[in-house]
Every structure is written in C-alpha cells, then in structure tokens.
Amino acid sequence: MVSVGIVGGTGYTGVELLRLLLRHPQVTVRTLTSRTEAGKRVADMFPSLRGHTDLEFSDLDLEQLKQCDVVFFATPHGVAMQHAEQLVAANTKVIDLAADFRLQDLEQFEKWYGLQHSCPQILKDSAYGLTELNREKIKQASVIGNPGCYPTTVQLGLAPLLQSKNNLIQPSSIIIDAKSGVSGAGRKASLGMIYSENADNFKAYGVAGHRHHPEIVEALENISGQKGVFDSIIFVPHLVPMIRGMLSTIYVDLTDEGANTDLQSLYEHFYKDEKFVDVMPANSSPETRSVRGANELRIALYKPQPNKLIVLSVQDNLVKGAAGQAVQNMNLMFNFAEDAGLTGIGLLP
C-alpha cells in the first residue's frame, strides 16, 4: 500500500481527495493536516465520512510527511514550494493542487502570485499534471503541478485542434467564456462568497486579468509547439450560483483547412482511448450535472458557420478540475491502473 499525506484537509479539495482516496484500493491515508482543527476527528467535521475513517486532523509536521510515499498539497499557493525540496530529498513525491508548479515562466509566476519562487530547480524538474496530454513526463516526475480548473477545460477542449499537424485554427481568435460554481473559490469565509451575495445572481469576475490566463497561454504554447501566438486570447470567468461544476464555451475561427476538416471525427479519434474524456455527438449540450462528483470531462462541438467552431467543455471543478485529476496523476506515478479509485459515475439529477 502507498501511504498518503494531505496538507490542507479542511478545504474543499482536501476533503474531496479524502473521499476519493478512502475508496482507493492501493493507498492508505496516513496524515491529514489543518492549522486550525488539529486534534479534531475528521468525521466530526465532515459527517459524510462517518464510518469511513478514524483519522484526526494534525499539525503540519514535516517529519511525519516525509514518512509518506506521496503528499498532496490542497493549500493556497506558496505552501507546497516551502516543503517540496525536503520531501523530494526524503523520496516523497509531491502533488500540488495550487499554482506553485504550474507555470514554468518565473516572471509570470511572480507577477500573478506576488511571490518569489523558492525552489526553481524543483519547478524545472516537475511535470504539469494534465494526464491526457503529459502522461510520460508525469510517470517519471517526483513533483507535479496539478492544473488549474479553468485551464483543464480549455486545454482538453482545444488539444485535438492544436496537436493536429494541419493548421486548423487562427490562434489569436480564441475567446473563452467560462463559468464556475462557487466551490471553485474554496471553503474559506469571504463576503463575496456568502449565500446572499451569490444566490440568484450571475456575474463575471477577473475580466481585466485572471491568474489562469498566463497558465492557459503557456499550456497552449506547449500543446501546439507555437510560441507567442496565444498572448491575445480572451478569457473571461464567471461565477454561477451552483456549488460544483464548470462550463467553458470556447469560440474559435477556423482556417480554410479547419473549415474543410471533419472536426467531430478528429476529436473522437483523439480521445478514443481516454477513460475520462467523453466526446458527445455533434450539437449536443454537455451539462455540469452530468459530471458532478465524477472524474470526467465532457466535450461537444458546434459549427454555427463554416469557419467558426464552438467547443463546449464541462467538468466538476473539484474532481477532474482538482482532486480527481490529482489522484489520476498519483496513479500514473505509482504505476497503478489510471482509473483506480476514480470509477464513480456523475450524480444526476
């Protein structure tokens, strides 16, 4: 059995990791940290876990974490990079759900996260953890930067177009209109997240700039092998009054080559062996509730005009957008079946 530590066990992605890992046949969760709830039984805070675990929250103790085979950081940015070097030296793998190991461009990291990176060499050796697009590197890595939730919908939504050897789209035409449920902002209390501010309301945020923009640009460059052509893409996130779920509507101008290509077949072929990406029939409407609680991303394509494409991409932000993706990465790193612990079906209605 692989022993697991989770730093940040009281948050939404932390408890989602625990929900998934307690059902995983090849792991034991050994330690779960919280600065505020150390000593409290996990099941007393999360009654959904009563009868499934006797764990208590504990203080972050690096020596304890070093005893684990892998540690997940379900914490704000800046926490994992403080500990990664020592964990790697102790032969403990690290999977960070925050942004410390996502952006290779240090200038962009410092600009958007307001922090100097404390272990650039570890960052250099780390792997970006979007399994479907980076499998071989993830298998070899000791440190994984789990992708941001919006960037996951965008990358998997556009990868078949960008990895085609034909020139199918105009990169600068990409417009991403994305929506997230409120659990995307985490469990910490803040005025903007209270019920009376969010229920029966719908708004855009981060329109002038959002941290996921540079991550999307860097990732699309890596997927396509083209530098500098995605800088002017537009990304506007919105907050919708639901708890889980994320939908990105992506508008793209096609080249003549793209307009004359059977894109539905291209997508179906690209993802034919992927367990967690579902390409729906053309003109379908993927719904967030179809992936609620599941490690699944569902895509549908529309061609409203011969040279325009609309890609719809949905996922559960806490599962394929965070904890499920992290477990998928762990499965690869330890040579487990990629779907171990991840076979749950979405909860509908």
Q: What positions carry a catalytic annotation?
A: 149
The conformation of residue 274, written as its DSSP 8-state character, comes to: -
By beta-carbon proximity to ligand NAP, the closer residue of 24 and 320 is: 320
Residue ranges in 132-171 that form contacts with ligand NAP under rule CB under 6 A: 148-149
Contact pick of 111, 124, 187, 227 for ligand NAP (by CB under 6 A): 187
Taking alpha carbons only, the member of 134, 133, 85, 78 closest to residue 109 is 78
Contact pick of 184, 237, 286, 293 for ligand NAP (by CB under 6 A): 184
If binding is defined by CB under 6 A, does position 318 make contact with ligand NAP?
yes
List of residues 6+ apart from 67 with CB closer than 8 A:
3, 30
If binding is defined by CB under 6 A, does position 214 make contact with ligand NAP?
no
| Piece of the chain touching ligand NAP by CB under 6 A; list 33-41, 104-112, 291-299, 306-314 | 33-41
Q: What is the distance between the alpha carbons of residues 96 and 8, in angstroms, rounded to a whole number?
A: 11
Contact pick of 24, 30, 77, 292 for ligand NAP (by CB under 6 A): 77
If binding is defined by CB under 6 A, does position 36 make contact with ligand NAP?
yes
If binding is defined by CB under 6 A, does position 97 make contact with ligand NAP?
yes
User: CB 183 → ligand NAP: shortest distance, Å?
Assistant: 5
If binding is defined by CB under 6 A, does position 321 make contact with ligand NAP?
yes
Residue ranges in 237-256 that form contacts with ligand NAP under rule CB under 6 A: none
If binding is defined by CB under 6 A, does position 215 make contact with ligand NAP?
no
| Piece of the chain touching ligand NAP by CB under 6 A; list 7-15, 104-112, 135-143, 224-232 | 7-15
Taking alpha carbons only, the member of 81, 72, 220, 85 closest to residue 146 is 72
- Exposed/middle/buried for residue 239 (C-beta within 10 Å: 0-12, 13-18, 19+): buried
By beta-carbon proximity to ligand NAP, the closer residue of 27 and 60 is: 60
Taking alpha carbons only, the member of 281, 283, 297 closest to residue 247 is 297
By beta-carbon proximity to ligand NAP, the closer residue of 198 and 224 is: 198
Q: How many residues make contact with ligand NAP (CB under 6 A)?
A: 31
Residue 115 backbone dihedrals phi, psi, to 5 degrees: -135, 150
3-state SS of 173-211 is HCEEEEEECHHHHCCCCCHHHCHHHHCCCCEECCCCCCC
Which residue, chain included where needed, has tokens 């609309």?
Answer: 310
Contact string 57-76 vs ligand NAP (x = CB under 6 A): ---x-------------xxx
Could you give the C-alpha distances from 39 to 42, 67, 123, in angstroms and in order? Answer: 9, 20, 33
The conformation of residue 170, written as its DSSP 8-state character, comes to: -
Could you give the C-alpha distances from 174 to 154, 302, 326, in angstroms and in order? Answer: 10, 15, 27
Contact string 119-138 vs ligand NAP (x = CB under 6 A): --------------------
CA dihedral 255, 260, 261, 263 (to 10 degrees): 80
If binding is defined by CB under 6 A, does position 79 make contact with ligand NAP?
yes
By beta-carbon proximity to ligand NAP, the closer residue of 95 and 254 is: 95
Taking alpha carbons only, the member of 161, 139, 127 closest to residue 258 is 161
Cα-to-chain-centroid distance, residue 82: 21
Residue nearest to ligand NAP (CB): 11
User: CB 1 → ligand NAP: shortest distance, Å?
Assistant: 24
* Residues found near ligand NAP in the complex (CB under 6 A): 7-14, 34-37, 60, 74-77, 79, 97-98, 148-149, 183-184, 186-188, 317-318, 321-322
